[in-house]
Structure 1
Amino acid sequence: MRAILVIREFDNFSRILSESGLKVINCQTIAVAPLEDLSEFEAKLDAIKNYDGVFLTSANATEIFRTKLSARNVNFQGKIYVLGKRSFDLLKSENLNLVFAETANTAREMLENIALDELKNKRFLFVRGEKSLRVVPEFLGKIASVDEAIVYRSSRVTIADDKIKEIQAKSANGEIACACFFSPSGARSFLQQFGAEVLHQIKITVIGNTTAEFFERRDLKVDFVARRATAEDFAVELIEYLKI
């Protein structure tokens, strides 16, 4: 049985694949951590009642937002616009006015699900990562005021030489069916350390169009894009795809 190369640490995605009988090789290429100094973000939270709403487009930002807001015991009446089921699940038990479009897989799709009159002339806080796409402020820029708060950053995880050689050998020998990518940052770190040659020998599978576009801009063919932007859906859809 050929293995699945998962470009992240072992988590629920890998667990679902493993429980379906697939062999998984994990290779984490990036690590995410909160900024050491969150004072700027905390100052914005202290004045959160000045905002009409908050936009959260990643689970990492959502986790930090939840932790810091809970510590303040603030009863925020504005709307919290969340992208992704994982972010929604993190906040659903909180006393917050959540706006969640289950069918939205990208920030643009989330924004397009919101009536423009709900956004015009309002003031919003966009909580994001250091390298997050700026779809939210670019979309809202002409109709609303948007403050941004960077709360986490992604850093490269250096892969051991023997691990790189092992994966390259397995790929060359046809022992790996596909590689699974979850973000442009993770894909970029992989290419920097492995090179593109290894991906010429296996299928490239991704979650989300943003990661797919990253590969396409580098003339690397993406074989499978998950229809739903959650790791769990990606795993289930990938299992079905590999049966074809």
Structure 2
Amino acid sequence: MKKIAVTRPKVFLPATIEYLRSKGLEPVPVPMMEMVPRKDGGVEAFISRLNSGDVDTVILTSQNGVRFIMEQAGDANEFIDKLNSVDVLAIGPKTNKVLAEFGIKADRMPSTFSSEGIVKEFCFHLAGKKVEVLRSNQGNPILITGLTEKGAIVKETIIYDIVPLSGREQEGFVREAISGDIDAFTFTSTMTAKSLLMMGESMGMLNELKAAINSKKVAVIGNPTADFLIKNGIRVDVVPEKFTFEDMIEELEKVL
């Protein structure tokens, strides 16, 4: 049974472990980052603009962003009604699913589940529109610059911060990786990759860690994650066309 390293946040690990085992794979889970809701008044300012009718389109880039903003929405029913009165874009099916669970209808979703996909497919439709982007502090800058360059009036609200994790669990994972006992490494974001390399560097084992990863298979979600790893001397074997964990694993199985 192939061992697959999973570096996702802890909230996703139970479902991820179950999914990998259903595929006949053995998960090696370690959270390399966590998501912390930001409470700096940004959400309140967005809701005020929404309530005043100063919003044409809302872009939600992750299921986490949806959940965090609902936690801060106050009168949830009123907020949902207001969102449903404007144009809502979801970046992928999982974000769309969580929106639907709250009774929010996404009007559009790019065929490529990424910031690049939104810019490529909807930039001309959004020209001249007041667009609100709700996402993490690690969002791809191309979403803001791409829409702005095409004439959209964009405001970005950071809903939550992505922060690296370091501790005994992460140290133990680095040592296991270096031992060569893992068959493939998966990274669902740039921060999961960056956090792992930071952990290796802090332990004085960065070169050994990179060599261990390069001796196995590497699968990532998103071109920014792939670019980061390549720039840091790590080969990338799989970048799925659709940016979901399931698609990444299906592509990874083909090269294992």
TM class by smaller structure? 0.7 to 0.9
Structure 1 partner of 2:198: 192
Percent identity over the alignment is 22
Distance between the aligned counterparts of 1:90 and 1:158, measured in 2? 29
2:115 maps to 1:113:
no
Q: Contact 2:219–2:248 at 8 Å: present in 1 too?
A: no
Amino acid of the structure 2 residue aligned with 1:131? Q
Distance between the aligned counterparts of 2:247 and 2:2, measured in 1? 21
Distance between the aligned counterparts of 2:172 and 2:109, measured in 1? 44
Q: Contact 2:35–2:162 at 8 Å: present in 1 too?
A: yes
Q: Contact 1:78–1:97 at 8 Å: present in 2 too?
A: no
Distance between the aligned counterparts of 1:216 and 1:167, measured in 2? 18
Structure 2 partner of 1:136: 143
Distance between the aligned counterparts of 2:7 and 2:104, measured in 1? 34
Q: For 1:116-195, list aligned pairs within 5 A.
A: 116=124, 118-142=125-149, 143-160=151-168, 161-169=171-179, 171=180, 175-194=181-200, 195=206
TM-score, scaled relative to structure 1 = 0.87
Structure 1 partner of 2:26: 23
Say which structure is richer in strand. 1
1:43-102 C-alpha deviation (Å, 9 max, x unpaired)? 221220210011112222222234444626132211011101110001124454523335
Tell me how far 1:184 sits from its aligned partner: 0.4
Tell me how far 1:238 sits from its aligned partner: 2.7
Structure 1 partner of 2:240: 226
Q: Contact 2:43–2:72 at 8 Å: present in 1 too?
A: no
Tell me how far 1:190 sits from its aligned partner: 0.5
Q: Contact 2:132–2:157 at 8 Å: present in 1 too?
A: yes
CA-atom RMSD in angstroms = 2.1
Q: Which sections of structure 1, spanning at least 5 residues, go unmatched? A: none
Indicate which of 88, 93, 96 corresponds to 1:88: 96
Structure 2 partner of 1:99: 107
Tell me how far 1:120 sits from its aligned partner: 1.8
Indicate how the Cα distance of structure 1 residues 165 and 95 shifts in structure 2: closer, same or farther if over 3 A, else same.
closer
Q: Contact 2:56–2:87 at 8 Å: present in 1 too?
A: yes
Tell me how far 1:159 sits from its aligned partner: 3.6
Amino acid of the structure 1 residue aligned with 2:248? F
Structure 1 partner of 2:37: 34
Q: Contact 1:13–1:232 at 8 Å: present in 2 too?
A: no
Tell me how far 1:191 sits from its aligned partner: 0.8
Tell me how far 1:192 sits from its aligned partner: 1.1
Q: Contact 1:12–1:232 at 8 Å: present in 2 too?
A: no
Query: Does the residue aligned with 2:235 lie in a helix, a strand or coil?
Result: coil
Amino acid of the structure 1 residue aligned with 2:142? V
Question: Which structure exhibits the higher relative contact order, with contacts defined as CA atoms closer than 8 Å and separated by 6 or more residues?
Answer: 1
Tell me how far 1:212 sits from its aligned partner: 1.0
Indicate how the Cα distance of structure 1 residues 233 and 178 shifts in structure 2: closer, same or farther if over 3 A, else same.
same
Q: Contact 1:29–1:159 at 8 Å: present in 2 too?
A: no
Amino acid of the structure 1 residue aligned with 2:251? E
> How many pairs does the alignment contain?
236
Distance between the aligned counterparts of 2:60 and 2:2, measured in 1? 37
